[in-house]
Structure formats: structure tokens, C-alpha cells
Structure 1
Amino acid sequence: MMLIESDFSLLVIFRFDFCTIDSEKRPSENLGQVLFGERIEPSPYKFEFKKKQECKHVCTKAYDTTNAQDKGRLDFLKKGMLLNYQHHWIVDNMPVTWCYDVEDGQKFCNPGFPIGCYVNEAGRPKDACVVNSEFNDKDTFYFFNHVDITIHYHVVENEGTGARLVAAKMEPKSYKHSKVEAPDCTGGPMDLSNKFSGEFKIAYTYSVQFVEDKNIRWASRWDYILESMPHTNIQWFSIMNSLVIVLFLSGMVAMIMLRTLHKDIARYNQIDSVMERKLTEFGWKLVHGDVFRPPRKGMLLSVFLGSGTQIFLMTFVTLFFACLGFLSPANRGALMTCAVVLWVLLGTPAGYVAARFYKSFGGEKWKTNVLLTCFLCPGVVFADFFVMNLILWGEGSSAAMPFGTLVAILALWFCISVPLTFIGAYFGFKKTHPVRTNQIPRQIPEQSFYTKPLPGIVMGGILPFGCIFIQLFFILNSIWSHQMYYMFGFLFLVFIILVITCSEATILLCYFHLCAEDYHWQWRSFLTSGFTAVYFLIYAIHYFFSKLQITGLASTILYFGYTMIMALIFFLFTGTIGFFACFWFVTKIYSVVKVD
């Protein structure tokens, strides 16, 4: 049996009026598949192993443009072809791929094929219409109503007649069958003029053949799909570009730490006289009595740090498992399921970090702190997601999450994550932070333009974003263009580079601000690296207008709603990295300075 996977969109397979089967139950999906909208429908395309079939009739769809309902269904199909909507089929958990030649003699295998294509009024074929020279009528739609499916298998040794499927390939075709009720896969392409009116019938057919392939192993059956995606060279270019930035920042930080600070601190500590030491104080030494002063809105900062720590650990562990091969594309929905489960189980570190820093900031409202850590950031994400789900429900989309799944997510949140956060907060509040600060805050001198908060924050996010924007393109393609993402080794390496870049860029700017006698580093360090999320948001807007063909208000709201969720998570993630880097830097340099 073949399964049909509906695309992540506002449209379900039934509204496209394709051939369906109601006698079979829908296959169950895991949490990750439901969250990503990867809903699977049973298919009427059926075949038996090693049984060849030619021009097998599936169903016939009839339309009458004088009937408003039929005309609406036909117009819906036309709109889908204009937007290049695609079928996604699965056989034995393998995607049915359409392989075709591209430039330089390479072959590209697409895990999907279009429902049809369109030749515009100027006679220019769009999208898949370029594959057939017979598609040449102006202002005409062509339906891919026939597929030639080839199943590749190999016989399993020492298991008798057992065999395993190692590849499933297909070729979409268009036939205007001479006999619609008894299709024979002859005639020209199945076309429909945009100005057509009257009765119109589409017969859907398929052919199947089985080919034994002894060269493809079971463990390597996904390789022909993944290797056809020519992304590796671009990925290496991105990695090298990012490494150059990291080496530059590392050199700057090393120069500051080893040459400037080390010599400065050693010379300063060698002076025994208090008066002489005060005379030699300048720049960052002058604020040693104020640098650990609690920041404004310390409650909110500690909550952000707790949530950011939870996201950081979740991302690190998920990518680590993905690099080991546990979360490959063959395990559908495993990546998202793993991320959600890890986030739920990592409530303890979130509560611990939030409580510990809140107490170090002099906070006393520990109950409010714990509750905000449990509900503020997760609540914003869930509220946004719930609104998006309401829109999907209203549009009748297959990507809408069922009510039972929403209840299950709330149960995981309230029954597991929240208690674990309270446990972490309990241990966090038991820690003490004896910090010595001056009773009277030191006056901050007039700052130059580049040491003011806003310019520093804006500049701080440029370099981290420069390290990830190429990888970001492939991730957005995977999410919105239904392309497979499998290069988790590259992604994990870029993740490490992003952590290093955010840390080093924030430390550099923090050092410059301390030298300018500005000791308000806590919020600034968080926002400096967190501003990378703003560049991510700008890039996502550019991607929307330049790469996607999304029409309709509901689809646009969905795109930006989910993008805002990703931007918030990215903001907390990068902001937490920057804060911890600066916290380590400030603690390190001021712990070795003698304070009298």
C-alpha cells in the first residue's frame, strides 16, 4: 500500500478532489509529525510485490463548469498548479521520488511531484511544464494524471524469498485517454484551456514495475536522495566563512586577555600602596565597585536566562543525537518529538538558573520568579501557536493540530515541566552570592557614539548572523519548501561556531564598555548577542518575499506567526549565550584585582 503525505499548507488532499479511499483508517503519527503538519492519508494506489501493472485505473473525476460547485473544485486545482503544489507519496517509509537531470550532468531526486503545470499566455511554460515539449498551448493547464512507478528491491540473503525495498522512483505523465472510463494511456497530454467551459473529465492512472538492485544496501537506501542535493560545496563555503570570523574574534579576545588585561592586572597588583593604586586606576578598574550591581528589571532578565538555558541545552542534545543518526529523515517527526520531550525534561536547569541569578540580583519574590520562568516564555509561544492552530482549524487544514494533541502538550507542560522547574528553583535559591558593591553608584561619564547602548547592541548581532545565514537558508527551505534536511553534522558545527561567535563578540563589546566606565553590562550583554534574532527576522521577511509564493491573508499570518516563535526562541538562545560569556569574563577579570 502507498501512503500520501499532505503538504504543509492550508489545503488538504480532499479539497483538491484527488482519488481517495475511505475504507481504511488513517495511519497514526507521532508528536513531531503532528506539530509539523505531516499528516498521512491512506492511498487508493495499491500494488503487490513483483506484480507488474500497466495503466491501472484509479478513479475518474468529472466537472461541469456550469455547476458552481464543480467550477469551484476545478478552479481550486488550477490555483494549486499555479502555486506548484506537489504530491508527497510514501512506500515502506521511503519517499517516492521524481528523479530528473539538471545542469552539469547531475541528477536531482525530488521527494514529490507537482499536481500539474501551466503555460502562460505568452507561451512560456512554468515550473514542471518545461519537461515536455508537447506542453506548448498558450494559457493552458496540464494535469499529471498518470505516474510510472519503479520499485527497486534486493533479495535478502539467508532469508529465502524475502526482499527489501531500497528505492521508489516515479515519473509523472499527462495522458488524455482515448477512453476515459477504460483508460489506455494513449493520446496527447491532458490539457485544459483557461477559458474552457462545459464538461471535463480527468482519469487518474498508474503503472508499476519492480526492478532488482543488488548494489544498494538497506542501510544506504536514502543515499540516492540525499546525495542528489548539491548543497555540500555551499555548506563548506559557509563553514570556512564562519571559521574566518571566529579566528578573527578569537585573536581579538586573546589580545585583550593575554596582552592588555594580563599585564595590566599584574602591574596593578604589584603596587602595595593604596594611594598609588588609586592613582593608577583608569578605565575598567574604576568600576570594580559597581560592576556587580544588580541590574534594573532583574526579575525579567533572570526569567529570560532560565528559559534561554533550557533552549540551549535542548538544542545541544537534539543536535548531538541527530549527528549520531538517531534523528535522520527516515525517522519521521523524530527531530521535533525529541526537541519537545527534552524541553519538558529540562525544566530543572531553567528553574535553577533563573532562581540563582534572581537571588544574586537581590530579588526576594521567589514565587513570582518561579511562576514567570514556568509560564512567561512558554506561554507566549503556546499562545502564538494556539492562534495559528485556530486559523488552520478555520481553513480546514490537514496541518491543524487535533484537540487531543493540544491537551497532551498542556499535560506535559503542567505535569512535568512545571514541577521540574520548581525543583530546580528550590536548589537555585539555596545558593548565596556574597557580592561587594559600593553604597553610592558611580556616575557614568558621557559616552561616545559607539559605546552607547543602541549602536553596540545593533553591531553585536552582525557577526553571529554572518556565521549562520547560509545554513539558515537551508533550514527555511526544509520548513517551508518541504525539502529534506539531513546535514546535521554541518548544523552542529555551525551551532558551535555560533556559540563561540556570540560569546567573543559580546566579550569584546563588554570590554569596550567597561573601559568607558559603563558598568551596566548585564542587560547589554544579553541584548547584544540576542539582537542576532532581529537579523534573523529581517532575513525571514526577505525569504518570504523573494523565495515563497504564498497568497492569501491566512497563509501570510501563519508564516509570520510561526516565524515570530522561531525568532523569540532564537533571541532567548543567543541572548543567554552572550550573558554567560560576559558573566564569565567580568567574574574572571575582577576576581584577580585587589580591591581595598
Structure 2
Amino acid sequence: MMGLLYTRSSSSSSSFKSILLTVFVLIVSSILLNSSNNQVEARILSNSNPTVYHTGDTVNVKANRVKSGLVSLDYYQAPFPKPNTTVGDSGSFIFKLSGNRKYDSLYDIPALVSLNCSHVGNTSYNVTSDQVNSLIDYIDNRYRVFMYIDDLPIGEKYSNHIEIGYDIGYLYRSYNGNKTNTVYYLNNHLNIHIEYTNSSSSSGGAEIVGVYVVAHSVNSNLAQECQYSSSESSRLILEQDKPLINMAWTYRVTWTNVTDKTWATRWDAYYPYVAAVEAPSIALSFFNTAILAVPFIMILFRVFRNENTLGGFVEMMDSGWKSIYADVFRSPKGFMTLSVIVGSGIQIATTSFIVMLFYVGGLLSIANDGAFTMTAVIVFAFCAVFGGYASMRTYIMLGGTRKRYNAVLNATFVSFVVLILLMIANTQLWSHKYTTAPSGGLVAIVIVLFIFMSIPLSLASSYFVNSWPPAGYPCHTNSIPRMIPKRKFYQNPYIMSAILGFIPFININVPITIYLNSMFFDLHYSASFATFIAVTLLFVNVLLVNVLIEFYQLSIEDYNWWWRSVVGPTFTALYIFIKMLVFGFSNFGSIATQPKFYYFMFSLVTSLMSALLFSAVGFLGNLYFTKRIYSTLHFD
């Protein structure tokens, strides 16, 4: 695509257009078919093979972490029963890079054997007053416990999905006049439900296809443990600064043979189908695109077919853009910075596209926890080859001569700034020893990929094209700049960009909410196709909005369009930043332990990278459009 944008003139063959149209129709058709179904098969590819259990085999039970929003702590940082021996640290390399660990637990579950009442480790424990206070803080801040059984995350089952984890406890507030009484209950008993299906292997056995739990607060001083009811006396109450003596951690296990699940589909329960959100979101995205496409099509008819029958604003603006043909391709000031922005944006754009393909294909699901981060880092480093190419070609096209400086600046500056901002953001997580923070291994990998892969690839692609001749323009440029007519305040293209930039944001509003919910609240949705369509239409909307403002700007004889086409799309990124801040304040504002500085920096970096992406897409779209419309002019 970039090759087309940087050539003097280009035309697509009818066969190529037919292929593009066919692919687009197939994608849209698949979306509509999926939206019309009541159920959808989650596209999840796991990197593990099924474990076949026979009666009495030991089931793999691992402790993971306790988590509340942005804060994630190792499981044994909470006062849970801990093995006397060294706690193992298992899990794949990528899983550990995500800040996760799997530890040995004291849960002893024999395969295919239901347990009525079992103790976690010892039959009784003494919990100190400090540990009780810690548990109260966990309950106050809504921490949830995460564990794995047969590599499946345990969770609470609802009508059509499983919400990962379970609450450490819960509280009840009562009001007596001006006095508030708060009672804390500890969930010290688990009802573990394990679903299995008969294995197709020659040795028989069973494969676990589902796990969910029901957490209860049980007063272990009762005559019979593991018995719970709704009465106050049957629950375990925590009181500030008061230790617990001879309390018990217990669990019950129930095995159920099911026929409606298989090992290949056991992750589907973690991805509830969201047709109620998916279909309206897609419809709104198409509606926004159609609204923007109408005036764009009118412009194309007017420019390329010389139609004088359309009327409206297109006809009024018909003469203005033609009169500035000798100035419209005048190189802007600071085009070194502009070319670096374009190169970095193209690197982010290609990374986003490739990662999105992996996401739709099911390779980045929670079945491969940590794969998303690792894939994004590796793909971003590889896509530096596209960034180096785009930056150098833009710089040469605009008349730049300091090619080495441009190549080095593009290879290092933006990536270095983003890396520094992320380091600053994570200092708050590292200082509190939150496992949400990237591990030392991940930091080392990022630095190595940046130094030994991203920078060399960017420099190599820049060097490969630095001797190419600059792309030509369809019009010559006068040596003396033309005066730009004075315009009214409402004709300012930046004001128009700020207003119309909200339209592309509407397309991405729902996917942003889904992404943030899955990242911080472990609420996952099978909306990969919907997200792919929304992101695709987001890019289309950015292009259309930028082109429409571009044509209007040229029509009022303002030829300073270069920087406007770069800065204008950043308003959409600004709306993304505001959306993320509103999400953070509404969900984390009342929880004092949340690292709000980290979330602010995370939102800032996300918006900055989005701004670079939109700027590159908008600029290249404007460049191509401007070249095409001025190629229709004929001079004697």
C-alpha cells in the first residue's frame, strides 16, 4: 500500500479490485452470520494437550494470585495455608513474563472421587490479629482469589459463563442513625465442581472440561464443619485486631460427567457471547462510515468525472483547490519531525494489524496467558522495517538531505520515549511488589529486541531506500509562496478535526470498554470479529474524516495541509484518553489501594501510540488523495 502512496500515479486493475471487494464481502457476511446466531464458538487455541485422569490420580491444583483491578499479588502474600516445604513456581516462560506464577497448593483432589469435606492442610489454624486486619483490607478492596485446576482458571459460574476467581470475603453494612456498622465475612470454604468427559484414548479415563467454585463463609466452631447456611451464627466473622483461634480452611469436591462439552471447547465458558453489545456496535460503525462516505463519494464524482450536476458544498468548493496547485506540494517546516511521526505510526499500524489477526485467530486468548504481551513486543520490533521505510520515503519526498540523522531518529526516538514512560509508570507497581508489573525477564527481552532487532531492522530498511529518487508530484511548485486568504474562526481545520474526530472514536468505544474489562476485571468476551470490524472501520473513518477536512481546507485556498493531516487525527486519540480516564475514575476511584498514577501513565502511553497510528494513517490517506485529485488537472 505504501508503494502506491509514494508513486507519481497508480491505478488498480479490475481483478485486484474484485479480489478486495470479495474479501470485504466475505468478512462482512461472516460477521452478520455470527451476529444472527444465538451462540458462537469461541475461537480459542490452547498450547497444551489434554491430561487423561484415572480414578484416584492426583489432579493438578495450583495457587496463582489475589487480584483487585490494577493490583495483583502472589497468592501466598495473603494469609492462606502454605505448604511447609518450598513452594514450587511453575508455568510456561510466557506465562511468567505476564507477571503470573503458579504455586503448589495444599488442595488434594483425587480424580473422579467426590469429597464431602476436606481440610486445606491442617485441621485448624490460628490467624494473628495482623493477618485478620490484612484479610479485612483485602475484603474492603474487593480482592479475588485466582487458582488453576488442570490449567483451567477456577471461577464462579453464572447462567452462560464463568467469571474468573472468587471473592476472599464479603461485607455487610447496616445503618443505625448516624452510625454505620460493618461486618466482614471470610470465605474459608469452597465447593469445587469439576466437569469431565470420557476420554477417547485407548486406556480410557477422563478429561476435565470445566471447573467452577462456590465460596462460602463457614464458622468452623460448629459441631460439623463444611456446613453452611444463611444464618449469622454459621458464618465466619472477622473483627479488627481480633485473632482467629482454631479456624479451618475446608473444601468439598463434586465430579460431574457432562456430554455437552469437549476438551477443545472447555474455554468457551470463559467467553460469554455478547450479541446484545456486538450487533449494535457493528451497526453503528457501519452507519458512521456511511455518513462520512456520502460526501466523499460526491467529491470523487465531482473531481474525477467532471460532473456539474451534484451541486451543494462540493460545487462551491470546486474552484478553490484548483487555484493553489502551485503551492499545495510545498514542503512544510519541520518535516524531519513529520517523517519520524509517520514512520513510527506505520510501525504501530502494522503491529496492530498483525496482532489483530492473531487475536481473531484465537492465538491470544486466556488459554495462552501472557501471549498477547509477548506477541505485541516481538511483532512491534519486527515491524520496525516498515517504520524505517515509511519515514525515509517521506523525508526524501519532502526534500530532506540529512538521511542518516533521520534514520537514527526514527529508529530510536519514539520507541525510547515510550519505553521511558512505561518504566516510569511501572515504578509504582515495582515499589509495591505487584505482580502486575512486568518481570525482569520481560524488561530484558524488550531491551534486547529493541537494541538487536528493532533498531537494526529500521536502519536497514532506511538504508535500503535512501538512494531511491524522491516521489514526484503531479504539479510543480512556485518559488514564491502564495498568500493564504484570511479565514473565519469556524473555518479552522483544527476545530473541524476536534469536532469530527469524535466520529471515529464512536466505533472504538465499545471495544475499548471490553478490552479494559478483560484486562483489569477478567471479564472476557468472544467479540474478536466485532473488534476486528470496529478497528477496521475506525481506520476507514479516520481516513474519511481527514480527507473531507483536507478537501475543505484546500477549497478555501489553504495549502498548509501537511501538519494538519498529522495533528488532526490525534483528536480521536484524545477522546480515547478521556474515555480511559473516565473508566478508571469510575471503577478505581473509590478503591484507595489502586495505583492510579500507573493507570494514568498507562492511559497516556496508549493514547500516545494511538495518536501516532492515526496520524500516519491520516497523513498517508491525505497524501494519496491530494496527489490523485491534482493529477486530474491538465496544463498546457
Indicate the TM-score class for this superposition, using the shorter chain for normalisation: 0.7 to 0.9
**TM-aligned CA distance change 1:480 to 1:581, over 3 Å:** same
Matching residue of 2:368: 331
Q: Secondary structure at the match of 2:193?
A: strand
**TM-aligned CA distance change 1:486 to 1:184, over 3 Å:** closer
Give the drift of 1:38.
Answer: 3.5
Summarize the alignment of residues 220-259 of structure 1 with structure 2, pairs less than 5 Å apart: 220-227=265-272, 231-259=274-302
Match of 1:88 among 124, 146, 151: 146
**TM-aligned CA distance change 1:465 to 1:358, over 3 Å:** same
Distance in 2 (CA, whole Å) between partners of 1:384 and 1:581 is 29
TM-score scaled to structure 1, two decimals? 0.87
Q: Does residue 417 of structure 2 align to residue 380 of structure 1?
A: yes
TM-score scaled to structure 2, two decimals? 0.82
Distance in 1 (CA, whole Å) between partners of 2:497 and 2:228 is 66
Matching residue of 2:446: 409
Matching residue of 1:532: 572
Kept in 2, the 8 Å contact 1:147–1:173? The answer is yes
Matching residue of 1:103: none
Matching residue of 1:129: none
Matching residue of 2:455: 418
Q: Pick 1 or 2: higher relative contact order, CA cutoff 8 A, min separation 6.
A: 2
Give the drift of 1:346.
Answer: 1.2
Match of 2:126 among 62, 66, 72: 62
What per-residue deviation string (whole Å, max 9, x for no partner) do you get for residues 316-345 of structure 1?
111112222233332222222222111111
RMSD: 2.6
Q: Secondary structure at the match of 2:372?
A: helix
Kept in 1, the 8 Å contact 2:132–2:240? The answer is no
Kept in 1, the 8 Å contact 2:430–2:437? The answer is yes
Kept in 1, the 8 Å contact 2:228–2:235? The answer is no
Summarize the alignment of residues 328-367 of structure 1 with structure 2, pairs less than 5 Å apart: 328-367=365-404
**TM-aligned CA distance change 1:549 to 1:192, over 3 Å:** farther
Match of 2:334 among 297, 300, 313: 297
Distance in 1 (CA, whole Å) between partners of 2:168 and 2:104 is 18
Summarize the alignment of residues 94-133 of structure 1 with structure 2, pairs less than 5 Å apart: 94-100=152-158, 106-122=159-175
Distance in 2 (CA, whole Å) between partners of 1:550 and 1:40 is 30
Give the drift of 1:193.
Answer: 5.5
Give the drift of 1:416.
Answer: 0.9
Q: Does residue 140 of structure 2 align to residue 140 of structure 1?
A: no
Q: Does residue 604 of structure 2 align to residue 545 of structure 1?
A: no
**TM-aligned CA distance change 1:40 to 1:457, over 3 Å:** farther
**TM-aligned CA distance change 1:198 to 1:319, over 3 Å:** closer
Kept in 1, the 8 Å contact 2:82–2:105? The answer is yes
Gaps of 5+ in 1: 101-105, 124-136, 267-279
Distance in 2 (CA, whole Å) between partners of 1:53 and 1:186 is 16
Distance in 2 (CA, whole Å) between partners of 1:141 and 1:169 is 24
Q: Does residue 509 of structure 2 align to residue 469 of structure 1?
A: yes
Distance in 2 (CA, whole Å) between partners of 1:189 and 1:367 is 75
What per-residue deviation string (whole Å, max 9, x for no partner) do you get for residues 250-293 of structure 1?
11100111135531799xxxxxxxxxxxxx99300111111111
Distance in 2 (CA, whole Å) between partners of 1:462 and 1:33 is 39
Distance in 1 (CA, whole Å) between partners of 2:185 and 2:393 is 64
**TM-aligned CA distance change 1:392 to 1:492, over 3 Å:** same
**TM-aligned CA distance change 1:523 to 1:545, over 3 Å:** same
Kept in 2, the 8 Å contact 1:34–1:399? The answer is no
**TM-aligned CA distance change 1:549 to 1:149, over 3 Å:** farther
Q: Does residue 432 of structure 2 align to residue 395 of structure 1?
A: yes
Matching residue of 2:113: 51
Gaps of 5+ in 2: 1-59, 310-316
Kept in 1, the 8 Å contact 2:217–2:228? The answer is no
Q: Secondary structure at the match of 2:174?
A: coil
Distance in 2 (CA, whole Å) between partners of 1:448 and 1:159 is 81
State the number of aligned residues: 556
The amino acid of 1:91's aligned partner reads: I
Give the drift of 1:461.
Answer: 1.3
Distance in 1 (CA, whole Å) between partners of 2:162 and 2:528 is 20
Q: Does residue 42 of structure 2 align to residue 5 of structure 1?
A: no
Kept in 2, the 8 Å contact 1:351–1:425? The answer is yes
Match of 2:482 among 424, 433, 442: 442
Matching residue of 2:237: 192
Give the drift of 1:366.
Answer: 1.6
Distance in 1 (CA, whole Å) between partners of 2:526 and 2:102 is 21
What per-residue deviation string (whole Å, max 9, x for no partner) do you get for residues 135-186 of structure 1?
xx95100111110111111112242223211101111111111279x95546
Distance in 2 (CA, whole Å) between partners of 1:367 and 1:553 is 48
Matching residue of 1:132: none
Sequence identity (%): 25
**TM-aligned CA distance change 1:356 to 1:26, over 3 Å:** same
